[in-house]
Amino acid sequence: MTLKQGILYFRDESSNWIFEDTHGNAYALHCGEGLEIKISGRYRPCRLELAEDWYVVFPEASLCFKTGSFV
């Protein structure tokens, strides 16, 4: 699989996270979706989940994504 680079942002009107690649193509992400996030220069596999807030599950930790926290 080829990694796509782009940005991740929250869309209020649909209440979900959007991945937009460098060509402007936007993809809605859903609960349970697998992806890789670049942290400290390395891509790390993770899974996007939804409870009261969106969060990301890594093999070693979970991070909460508060809506509106990324601009």
Mean pLDDT of all residues in the chain?
Answer: 83
- The reply to whether 1 falls in a domain is no
pLDDT at 47: 92
- The reply to whether 70 falls in a domain is no
State pLDDT tens for residues 5-29.
888 888 888 888 999 999 999 999 9
Whether pTM > 0.75 for this model: the answer is no
- The reply to whether 25 falls in a domain is yes
Question: Looking at this protein, which amino acid is placed at residue 32?
Answer: G
- The reply to whether 41 falls in a domain is yes
Q: How many CB atoms lie within 10 A of CB 21?
A: 12
Residue 69 has pLDDT above 80, yes or no: no
Nearest-5° Cα angle at 12, 70 to 41: 25
Domain count, the chain: 1
Residues spanned by the domain of 23: 6-65
CATH of the domain at 44: 2.40.10.390
State pLDDT tens for residues 24-51.
999 999 999 998 888 899 888 999 988 8
